[in-house]
């Protein structure tokens, strides 16, 4: 089976998808066959093919091979709310085994599979499981995307503490500058670098229209 990474973040809108796409491009450039997943997605749109999530579609397009959308995003919901609430409103129960099976199918034909979580590390998906339990079940090392804005030191360190306490390995973290008006962002990144016991894989500056190529150029894929 292939190896891969689980991409999580300090919060929603911290840049998880952007970093996922950048890592996919970087790994492809290194000669790997790459696939990606966004197993659960809120904020999807109705299309002729059914519900489609913009981030998941971007991941689908970035893969090395053509992949059935249902493997990339087995659970899509229209309202942009917490996924377990969206699932409850739709009368759907999120099943971890369904996600694991989709991952296994992708892993069987890929060298690397990047799995992007939803929201932050502690987002619940069922009554007794969530993002942390899913990452542990998939047995994937975790990459944390820290949205660099006011409060990111606290959010980053709490996320790292929770990841390590969940029995998962933190492969590294990415500093993604999301607030152009933040004062002393480099100071916050330096503080996090000193306190997080995992490598800084890249610093992504604030970009008006960032592309996966822009991000890939600023990332170092973990070992």
Annotated catalytic residue, options 16, 28, 38, 203: 38
Query: For residue 128, what are the contacts with CB-CB under 8 A and spacing of at least 6?
Result: none
pLDDT of residue 61: 97
What residue ranges do the domains of the chain occupy?
A: 3-37+95-216
Tokens of 166: 């969940």
- Annotated active-site residue 38? The verdict is yes
CB 153 within 8 A of CB 182: no
pLDDT at 2: 60
Neighbour tally for 9: CB within 10 Å: 29
Tens digit of each residue's pLDDT (9 = 90 or more) over 23-61? 999 999 999 999 999 999 999 999 999 999 999 999 999
Q: What is the mean pLDDT of each run of 10 residues along the chain (223 residues)?
A: 88 95 95 97 96 97 97 97 96 97 96 96 96 97 97 98 96 96 96 97 92 90 72
**For residues 220, 207, 182 and 200, what is the CA-based torsion angle, rounded to 10 degrees?**
0
Q: Which CATH topology does 3-37+95-216 take? A: Rossmann fold (3.40.50)
E strand or H helix at 203, and its extent?
strand 200-204
pLDDT at 1: 47
């Amino acid at each position: 089976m292939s190896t891969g990474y689980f991409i999580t973040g300090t919060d929603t809108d911290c840049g998880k998808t952007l970093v996922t796409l950048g890592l996919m491009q970087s790994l492809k450039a290194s000669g790997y066959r790459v696939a990606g997943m966004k197993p659960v997605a809120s904020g999807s749109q109705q299309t002729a093919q059914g519900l489609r999530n913009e981030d998941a579609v971007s991941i689908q397009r970035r893969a090395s091979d053509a992949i059935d959308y249902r493997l990339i995003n087995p659970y899509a919901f229209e309202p942009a709310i917490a996924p377990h609430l969206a699932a409850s409103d739709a009368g759907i129960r999120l099943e971890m085994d369904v996600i694991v099976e989709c991952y296994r199918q992708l892993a069987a034909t890929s060298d690397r599979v990047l799995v992007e979580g939803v929201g932050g590390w502690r987002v619940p998906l069922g009554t007794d499981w969530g993002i942390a339990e899913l990452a542990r079940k998939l047995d994937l090392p975790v990459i944390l995307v820290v949205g660099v804005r006011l409060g990111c030191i606290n959010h980053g360190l709490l996320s790292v503490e929770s990841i390590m306490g969940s029995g998962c390995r933190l492969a590294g973290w990415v500093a993604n500058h999301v607030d152009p008006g933040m004062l002393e962002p480099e100071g916050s990144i330096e503080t996090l670098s000193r306190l997080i016991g995992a490598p800084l894989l890249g610093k992504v500056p604030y970009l008006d229209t960032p592309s996966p190529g822009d991000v890939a150029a600023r990332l170092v894929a973990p070992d």
